[in-house]
Amino acid sequence: MTIASAILTTASEAGQDPLAVMMQTFPAFIIAISIFGVLALVAASYRNVANRHAPKAEQYAARHGGDAHGAGH
């Protein structure tokens, strides 16, 4: 049984309008989708940060005689 059918069954057994019960939870759904959307945009904005800084790290490693990859990790 899915959550939606469980809500409909419970609401109909309690004598409430199932559509009214589902509409009460709709704002929470919109808020959750909005939060996940913002978090996805933040994660996507950091997607290529390491590759953009790779040449600087290699130049630093060459000047200081170390390996550019994996230093400090």
Delimit the domains of the chain by residue range: 3-64
Task: Please check whether residue 63 is in contact with residue 57, taking contact to mean a CB–CB distance below 8 angstroms.
Answer: no
Averaged pLDDT in 10-residue chunks for the chain of 73 residues: 77 74 84 97 82 76 68 53
CA separation for the pair 25, 63 (Å, rounded): 59
Q: What pLDDT does 63 receive?
A: 83
Structure tokens at 24: 């009460």
pLDDT for the residue numbered 39: 96
The pLDDT value recorded for residue 52 is 73
* Helix, strand, or coil (residue 23): helix
Q: Which pLDDT does position 37 carry in this prediction? A: 97
**Which pTM was predicted?**
0.49
Which residue type, as a one-letter code, is found at position 32?
A: A
